[in-house]
Structure 1
């Protein structure tokens, strides 16, 4: 028996049909399917603008860069973020030479509003909020802080594809929301992301910056007869961050099954809850008004590293989300500022969570975790 942490599930024949359509049309790059996927994502989420990029990391960089341009932030201005995240979140801030200020996490492992408020200074310009594991945490309180102190809000929703808060897809209050479609995420493709700006002008600028600053992409410069319009202007020093039609075609298929798949993830989480209920193992809660995507199922144990090895010996391969970012040299000036995040980082373990698992798998994992955990 071997139970991996993640195992992406694809609707293979439907995905191949979408890819075949791209190949037969001779159009595999930006445009065609990317436009169709963006429209489908906007319809699903309710975000008025959505732009498909090659990764969530690219989307996060665009979010910081564009807000910095829009509001004339300086290199030494600050963005408050979490140390308990994948490094893409905080690298996006460093890309733009701004300062990361770490705030601690709460019981949901999301940013703690009280500590955020303690960390706000005259140089604070934005909050980077991560919905870890698909949880919203205390998102409403963070939105209120942004309104109170006139701060921009970037929602790193890499884990939140399909998450609902009070029945709605969250993020309409944010300046920008960024999703991930990496192979192990809830809506998997080989890689990809969606950056959703709130304002039309931001979306228009985003489309230029993702295509090297060029003001017309190749698809829009080709008419229905295939006549290529070569003349364009380059308005910005941009990046090659756009997505392509092959990945978008896969995304169109996977999106149709996202809510169904997330419902099964929540069922797996319920089985974990039942299996661990009689033990003293601490599980990370989800707010009651959050219908989480359940990208992760996380526990806290005192012998995490030993438990990982013990579980590996019996064919179970959990993960850790995440190492405290202040342990990395480029973020070392934040060491000691977020004690709860640091403590949790030493104890966190993510149990296997994917669609190919059964109730018997969950029962077996719970039995082994209870046997070896301290």
Structure 2
């Protein structure tokens, strides 16, 4: 079927056994395995708090809403974000009737700290940083800017599962208010779809748990006693949502977590092969990474002059690629940002995502690189 841009690797027998345990227990919803995975994620990353959700997108929506409520932000206030991201990042801001203020990207395709500082106004309340492809970029400089201007910092870590900087998970750094991960179907830690939200503030974690379960102050698992008696009296503290994760997804995640570091190590091996094969071609620009020895490398990006023609050529040779991402200011709802981020706009016309998944052999990676060189050279 050719080489896909994404192809998740599941440890099938172990996953089935973990799911079987849920089915035999008769508990597939919130609680049980979701609690177990939250504890495992905290132990793995060092986060103080972790709440399992049905998606990264749900986590981003909750992050903005809860911070807005907590700190009294008004409709029309601004959050600085990137145009090089999946639209869910910026939709989370619009959903709260706030404005996305676009800042340009740097060579890592993460937010450029210099442009972020230029875009701060009296209405700025927070920065939304996307760890593009698992990259750290200049997150440390963004943290310093947020501290300088008393801004909150949301880390969209959808690509960053397993990324470390000098042994530390970036989302745990002081100055980051909330980090949101993705365990969507093709992410480095794949399930069918799920995510994790990690507030630095335990009070906000507690509020988030209510918001994600329709505002109810106790989940179903907590309301079932060891004798099986169902405690049906509860209160509803917030106008919440059905955003929580379930035990089936958590069972998959617990299994996949055991292999995340070794899987990411293999990704870095493939990245090294791509780099070695493509680096000498001066018509190909490789998107670099900071701390690449510890980067999760969810995607491998290059930029070329004739991107669409290259993608068509590779498809003819059964190598299927992608684009991550289209400049968000090209979408109608964000068109007010056009012209404000020239680097992002230009690079988005040239970037292409090459296959980078655990089903590839070294020779297949070299073969893809050869096709790219043959066309672009």
Cα distance between partner residues in 2 of 1:240 and 1:287: 37
Superposition pairs of residues 296-311 of structure 1, within 5 angstroms? 296-311=299-314
Indicate the residue corresponding to 1:229 in structure 2: 231
Match of 1:208 among 166, 187, 210: 210
Gaps of 5+ in 1: none
Match of 1:198 among 186, 197, 200: 200
CA contact (8 A) 2:110 2:131 kept: yes
The alignment partner of 1:285 has SS state of: coil
Gaps of 5+ in 2: none
Indicate the residue corresponding to 2:74 in structure 1: 74
Indicate the residue corresponding to 2:362 in structure 1: 359
The alignment partner of 1:137 has SS state of: coil
Indicate the residue corresponding to 1:314 in structure 2: 317
Residue 328 in structure 1 maps to residue 308 in structure 2: no
Indicate the residue corresponding to 1:295 in structure 2: 298
CA offset digits 1:301-339 (Å, max 9, x no partner): 010011100100011001100000001011000001000
Cα distance between partner residues in 2 of 1:214 and 1:328: 36
Indicate the residue corresponding to 1:150 in structure 2: 150
| Per-residue deviation, 1:372 | 1.2
Cα distance between partner residues in 2 of 1:290 and 1:70: 38
Indicate the residue corresponding to 1:134 in structure 2: 134
CA contact (8 A) 2:117 2:145 kept: yes
CA offset digits 1:22-61 (Å, max 9, x no partner): 0011110000000000000000000000000000000000
Superposition pairs of residues 257-296 of structure 1, within 5 angstroms? 257-280=259-282, 281-288=284-291, 291-296=294-299
The alignment partner of 2:153 has SS state of: strand
The alignment partner of 1:241 has SS state of: coil
- Rate the CA distance shift 1:288–1:200 in 2: closer, same or farther, 3 A: closer
CA contact (8 A) 1:166 1:289 kept: no
Superposition pairs of residues 168-179 of structure 1, within 5 angstroms? 168-172=168-172, 173=174, 174-179=176-181
The alignment partner of 1:164 has SS state of: coil
Superposition pairs of residues 72-111 of structure 1, within 5 angstroms? 72-111=72-111
CA contact (8 A) 1:136 1:290 kept: no
The alignment partner of 2:111 has SS state of: coil
| Per-residue deviation, 1:290 | 6.0
The structure 1 segments of at least 4 consecutive aligned residues displaced by more than 4 Å after TM superposition are none
The alignment partner of 1:147 has SS state of: helix
CA contact (8 A) 1:57 1:92 kept: yes
Cα distance between partner residues in 1 of 2:263 and 2:249: 19
| Per-residue deviation, 1:289 | 6.7
Cα distance between partner residues in 2 of 1:361 and 1:215: 52
Indicate the residue corresponding to 1:343 in structure 2: 346
CA contact (8 A) 1:163 1:290 kept: no
Q: Give TM-score, length-normalised by structure 1.
A: 0.99
The alignment partner of 2:171 has SS state of: coil
Indicate the residue corresponding to 1:42 in structure 2: 42
Indicate the residue corresponding to 1:119 in structure 2: 119
Match of 1:187 among 186, 189, 198: 189
CA contact (8 A) 2:165 2:294 kept: yes
Indicate the residue corresponding to 1:163 in structure 2: 163
Residue 13 in structure 1 maps to residue 20 in structure 2: no
Residue 373 in structure 1 maps to residue 376 in structure 2: yes
Residue 23 in structure 1 maps to residue 13 in structure 2: no
| RMSD across aligned positions (CA) | 0.9
- Rate the CA distance shift 1:11–1:139 in 2: closer, same or farther, 3 A: same
The alignment partner of 1:195 has SS state of: strand
